Structure 1
Amino acid sequence: MMKRLFYSFIAALLLIAGSCSDESYSTSRNDKLLFSVDTLKMDTVFSGVPSSTYSFKVYNHNDNSLRISQVRLSRGSQSGFRVNVDGVYLDNMNGSQAQNFDIRKGDSLLVLVELTSHSTNQTEPQAVEDKLLFTLESGVEQSVSLLACSWDAVSLRNLVVSNDTTISSSKPIVIYGGIKVDSGAVLTIKSPASLYFHASAGIDVFGRLIIKGQQDDEVVMRGDRLDRMFDYLPYDRVSGQWRGIRFHSSSTANCIDYADIHSAEDGLVCDSAEIDPSVLRLDLAHTTIHNCKGYGLKADNSRVSLVNCQLTNTLDDCLSVTGGETDIIYCTLAQFYPFSADRGVALRFGNYENAVQRGTLMCQNSVVTGYSEDVVMGDSLAFDYHFVNSVLRTPAVSDSVLLKSRFENVVFETSKDSINGDMHFVAVDLDLQYYDFHPDTLSTLRLQAIPLEAIRDDREGRKRGDQPTIGCFE
């Protein structure tokens, strides 16, 4: 009796297994796949550099299971795409294809796509296209288009500049490992030049750095990620993508003109050095330092000049000065860093304890503003500072002697003012991390600067009028 029950049980299991293994797959040409995208659009990639991984899904919304007899790339291995379907890579050694994928009714498959594009021998990004073809057992062929752009670039790895060197290229320059400028050497970076720094790469200057951009062709220094963190947020708008530029104590007579430096750890750092009254440690003009995970510019015991510069959105201070001599003329210092509530201020200045020489700071025709009620911080150590014809977001000075000696024609901005903080500017968009620090049409910065004969243009090289605007943009 027990044997009969046992054999009956085994027979039932075999029958069930047989019915499952014999599940029919539709061969009707009316039953088709559905894709989450018609075209998989990837970001621009540098030629020869692997892209991020992109994905889409393949759905079976039919009443029957489907068998995909083949998946292949239309161009085989020529386009540089790599595809993984449901955990199986298409064999690039065999026509970039794979066979026999089952997709039951109501189920889906995940497709992963990467690209390492070939050189295009062009200076501008070029389209890279292919099609991923799905052939069903019924003979129906469906496809998903793959689209990206490939950009030829010049790669520099662990560059050491021991002799005077000039860098310039109409192609993007990707920096791996960093650049070191030896003492006694001069590195000149002139337009056309766009430098894309890989993670942790930066420039260490022991000698001298000269950046020569042009009004209509600035030198750009940024991270090398061209893709997006989210659909709405390019990595280029995320701080901390590269290390930044550091001027070591032996470095002097550095000059940066018409440059866009953004999304670094620290934008620029000047280590403490002996002050030479005959030469500037750093001459900064027509330059933007934006969206840094550390300081925008940190200057220790240095002679620094900033003219027509934008220093904005940093986790630490936009401009931090300790000792030295600093001139700030026609500048926009704005602290709207979005990634932390524990952000620094727009301007911080002070001196070293027991400093023999008093630090000096002159700020003229400039706006210093931000989210907080007070974004201008100075300590009580010996420091000579003067603010002239500027807008400062800091509590009004009540000491009449201090006010008369340190502040001339200064507007102390508060959140109660009808136009204040971010309202001065065209765009401060926290959702999209998009900022435009040109003055808004209603901004009280307009027509409030004092004309300076020596400085007749603005951040973009445009001529300033007889009643110029406070800040770097006319």
Structure 2
Amino acid sequence: MKHFIYAFVTFALLATLSSCRKDLEFSPSTGNLEFSKDTVYLDTVFTNIGSSTYTLKVYNRSSDDISIPTIRLARGEDSEYRLNVDGMPGKSFQNVEILAKDSMFVFIETTIDIDNLPNTNGEFLYTDKIEFDSGANSQDVDLVTLVKDAVFIYPDRDNTTGIIETLTLNIGGEQVETDIQGRYLMPDEFTFTNERPYVIYGYAAVPNGEILTVEAGARVHFHANSGILVSEGASLQVNGDYSDDQELLENEVIFEGDRLEPAFSDVPGQWGTIWLFEGSVNNIINYATIKNAGVGILSDGEPDETNAKLTITNSQIYNSSNFGILGRNTSITGENVVINNSGQSSFAGTLGGKYNFTHCTIANYWRNSFRQFPALLLNNFTETPEATIIADLTEANFNNCIIYGNDNPELILDELNDNSNPVLFEFKFTNCLIRFSDPNNNFTDDNYDFDNTALYEANIFNEDPDFMDTENNKLIIGENSGAVEIGNPIFVNGTTQFDILREPRPTSPNPDSGAYQHIMF
């Protein structure tokens, strides 16, 4: 009897399900599809570098299950675009089904060789269409991509082993093979012009005794883990100039990653660094923007140079995942420099050295994660697995500067004493706006004696700098800034006669501190 009841219930359930089941019947599309956008802009790409993947959503708003007879690229198999329709790759598709009140995704990518296109003068707007159905029911979505030609610099790869060329560097007087992927620049590559952008894979190294000259208006783009390395005896000369149109920045030199899509415009850590290797000399950077690196500039060695190993003026460094400028027992002079948004410190002078910064804005409003260090860090040591190395900080002068950020304090002076071998730790802050408060008395050593005029003179603490927009790296100060008219006119000369926007700095009344004269927002 139990078996009979079980069989009866099972049959009844199956019959019920069967009576409710309705075979799916797909009707042909009637040209009433809707799309998430009518044009897909794949932004700007370099020749032969793949784009990001872009998404188009296709909606069936009707109450009927439909089948789209054809989906294809208008240029057919010759198109430079690639599609993935509902999980299937290709350039042409048949009988693509969408349920009633449902949707599907179309993914679009491209890799375009500009040499295969008509004469472009270095730039070409490539277009195509995705066509849905044909005849009276035809609908389409435009595809648009701006393709730029470029000068590509990359290391060789062994066709047999796949091993990529690495650099041999002079370290401690010996030629040492490193694991740094890259190659030395050739003589015809010692000048970067503004005619075409440069795209660098690995590290482009400047050979001993040579100068890499970067002309005004040049654009230098780096792939992941790439950069410029200035080797022993070599120099970097960045000769940017001011542009009246700060939105276009036509004459400024820009160093950034090789992803040109807007989504990557402010992403930190896309490439490595500009590395001024120990032994490089007379490095000069004027009117440059360095953005989205791991370390904007890494400078090693030569702390006692009569002329600083690096002189950087009228330049901006933003969105560095670690340090904006990292000096390691080196010498740097900076004037009209703006640094912001660094994962660790915006400026770190470590293992001693010699540093002189005048009318600079050293800020850090990093919001991507917790950061361990302040906007400005000075120390006189480094720790290795074998030993702790201590070196002289012969001078560190910050004049008419702003040192601020979204943490507190934004200044750390980390001195390590060696009683058996005393070293120098010389610094002075003059007419600066500084964020530093210590309610718990954590900083009690003499380096933080703000009443000692040998170390601190005419500084202002914890007043709002009134920056225009820190999130978007606009560090112009407003009329309510605590930096207004706190500068000392004695430091207004040479480069600093004008601010970074070429506005004259007054000497009476006093100039503002920082890289910008204030404006009314």
TM-score, scaled relative to structure 1:
0.84
Greater Cα offset, 82-91 or 367-376: 82-91
- Matched residue pairs, number? 437
* Aligned residues of 2:380 and 2:391 also touching (Cα < 8 A): no
* Aligned residues of 1:351 and 1:359 also touching (Cα < 8 A): no
Alpha-carbon spacing, 1:25–1:317, altered in 2? closer, same or farther (3 Å): closer
Shift of 1:20: 6.9
Deviations 1:379-401 (A, max 9, x none): 33431111111111123899779
2:96 to 92, 101, 105: 101
- 2:371 and 2:450 mapped to 1: Cα distance? 33
* Aligned residues of 1:79 and 1:128 also touching (Cα < 8 A): no
* Aligned residues of 1:167 and 1:188 also touching (Cα < 8 A): yes
Is 1:368 paired with 2:403?
yes
Partner of 1:157: 154
* Aligned residues of 1:459 and 1:473 also touching (Cα < 8 A): yes
2:454 to 386, 389, 405: 405
Alpha-carbon spacing, 1:465–1:123, altered in 2? closer, same or farther (3 Å): farther
2:479 to 438, 441, 445: 441
Greater Cα offset, 450-459 or 117-126: 117-126
Shift of 1:404: 2.0
Partner of 1:231: none
* Aligned residues of 2:450 and 2:456 also touching (Cα < 8 A): no
Counterpart AA for 1:404: T
Alpha-carbon spacing, 1:102–1:371, altered in 2? closer, same or farther (3 Å): closer
Identity among equivalent pairs (%): 28
1:148 to 131, 145, 150: 145
Partner of 2:301: 272
Alpha-carbon spacing, 1:25–1:295, altered in 2? closer, same or farther (3 Å): closer
Give the aligned CA root-mean-square deviation in angstroms.
Answer: 2.9
Is 1:133 paired with 2:131?
yes
Alpha-carbon spacing, 1:342–1:58, altered in 2? closer, same or farther (3 Å): same
Is the partner of 2:228 in helix, strand or coil?
strand
* Aligned residues of 2:82 and 2:110 also touching (Cα < 8 A): yes
Deviations 1:326-347 (A, max 9, x none): 1010000001111112242111
Alpha-carbon spacing, 1:52–1:412, altered in 2? closer, same or farther (3 Å): same
* Aligned residues of 2:279 and 2:301 also touching (Cα < 8 A): no
Deviations 1:243-291 (A, max 9, x none): 0111121112111111101110011111234623x23211111111111
Counterpart AA for 2:76: G
Shift of 1:24: 4.1
- 2:77 and 2:220 mapped to 1: Cα distance? 30
Alpha-carbon spacing, 1:357–1:73, altered in 2? closer, same or farther (3 Å): closer
Is 1:213 paired with 2:240?
yes
Partner of 1:32: 32
- 1:354 and 1:200 mapped to 2: Cα distance? 28
Alpha-carbon spacing, 1:401–1:224, altered in 2? closer, same or farther (3 Å): closer
* Aligned residues of 1:309 and 1:332 also touching (Cα < 8 A): yes
Is 1:335 paired with 2:364?
yes
Shift of 1:355: 5.0
Shift of 1:307: 0.7
2:210 to 182, 185, 194: 185
Is the partner of 1:447 in helix, strand or coil?
coil
Shift of 1:213: 0.7
* Aligned residues of 2:433 and 2:482 also touching (Cα < 8 A): no
Partner of 1:41: 41
* Aligned residues of 1:337 and 1:343 also touching (Cα < 8 A): no
Is the partner of 1:340 in helix, strand or coil?
coil
- 2:29 and 2:237 mapped to 1: Cα distance? 69
Counterpart AA for 1:309: V
Alpha-carbon spacing, 1:341–1:155, altered in 2? closer, same or farther (3 Å): same
Shift of 1:75: 2.8
Counterpart AA for 1:453: N
Shift of 1:85: 1.6
Alignment of 1:170-249 (within 5 A): 170-206=195-231, 207-216=234-243, 217-228=251-262, 234-249=263-278
Is 1:453 paired with 2:477?
no
Partner of 2:512: 469
Is the partner of 1:49 in helix, strand or coil?
coil
- 2:363 and 2:202 mapped to 1: Cα distance? 31
* Aligned residues of 1:369 and 1:392 also touching (Cα < 8 A): yes
Alignment of 1:373-392 (within 5 A): 373-381=408-416, 382-392=424-434
TM-score, scaled relative to structure 2:
0.77
